[in-house]
Amino acid sequence: MRYKSIDPDLFRKNREKLEKKLKPNALAVIHANDEMPRNGDQCFVYRQNSDLFYLTGLDQEKCILTLFPNHPVEAMREIVFTVRTNDRMVTWYGHKYTLEQVTEISGVKNVRWLDDFDGTFRDLMARAEFVYLNQNENPRFTTEVPSRDLRFMQQLRNDYPLHAFERLAPLLTDLRMVKESEEIEMINRACEITGDAFGRVLNFVKPGVLEYEVEAEITHEFLRNGASGHAYPPIIASGVNNCILHYNQNDQVCKDGDLLLLDFGAEYGNYAGDCSRTIPVNGKFSPRQRQVYEAVLRVLRKASRMLVPGTTIDKYHAEICKIVENELIGLGLFSREDVERQDPENPLFFKYYMHGTSHFMGLDVHDVGSKQHPLRKGMVLSCEPAIYIPEEGFGIRLENDILVDEEPVDLMAHIPIEPDDIEALMAR
């Protein structure tokens, strides 16, 4: 693996927290993600099911975790099943986990080959009353591809119709929202690598470079520092492209006088960083660009201080929208009188700021969590206010990752963001 080994105590703690939430005499089952076919004989690069990684630290396909905290036999309370390796598999595909390595990584003592799953599972089901099954319940997620967890769920409902089935996702969502210290360390490292990449970009960008050349510089720095790659498809948007929220063509020329919006983050140990910066292609903000930039920066400063225990993303975002509204008035984009006459259901600010300010972060860049859930100490959220003015040919978004606390901690405070600092670094 590229990242440093994670203490298996983290995964033991995570399993213990989940086990306490299960009903008595309950069995929980969590599968690894499928290997997704690409074309020909190729698969897409493998990415582990975040829930399984959270509970085991295992980064390999074809793994299954079963949890049965009340089983009378201690050895049967936690079991990991993994694919049986052989010499041919090693020759063609490389090393796979041994049973001993699974224990070393996860802390689970009872590790068996996948061949043993069906028989062992029948024995577990014979004792279980409740069965907790997992699936991706992210409200923004839709797919036509049935996951391994979903196929397994459908099979069990047919094979064991008299068992009571429960949802595992709400329990794991509640647990994953609050990060342990080991998780914060991984996110911190992802943020550090992201900052290194931004420094490289500041020394590289100039009129005439292509957006994908900038992406290549970021990718180089990520891989050089042990990241698995990008936590999500990067946005490298120059000129009016930076008014497209999820632009990722990254194929245009960066022109003199334009701004370049960068939304990117490293993935380290399966944990994500998420950063946005907007820089002048020629190394110097125009007066109007600087005026808008400083407005967005003021919003970021205020917003990041508001990510404290007890608030909710919905309430917090409503306050941020008021702040953005005042900044837009200051920028001359509409007047106070216009605001007083506006349709409350279609506020004027929405033309220039149409997305949320924060999302949960962790094993996924848009991590599990509810916008109505009160924030708790130890959560990590993005903070990404923006102002987009397509009629003026540019938009500006700034984003840092914030650790929720009584005094919120900016995990990206080391990454340059002041306009004077940006210009000075680009002038070197």
- Catalytic amino acids? 41, 246, 263, 274, 355, 359, 366, 384, 388, 397, 399
Task: For residue 29, give both structure tokens.
Answer: 């089952």
User: Are the C-beta atoms of 212 and 250 separated by less than 8 Å?
Assistant: yes
User: Are the C-beta atoms of 406 and 377 separated by less than 8 Å?
Assistant: yes
Taking the CB of residue 62, how many other CB atoms lie within 10 A of it? 17
130-133 and 110-113: which strand pairing?
unpaired
Place of tokens 């994953």: 176
Q: How far is CA 402 from CA 4, 306, 357, in A?
A: 23, 10, 12
Task: For residue 162, give both structure tokens.
Answer: 């008299």
| Of residues 297, 327, 302, the one with CA closest to residue 419 | 297
**How far is residue 72's CA from residue 93's CA, in Å, rounded to a whole number?**
39
Query: Hey, which residues does 65 pair with through a beta bridge?
Result: 30, 80
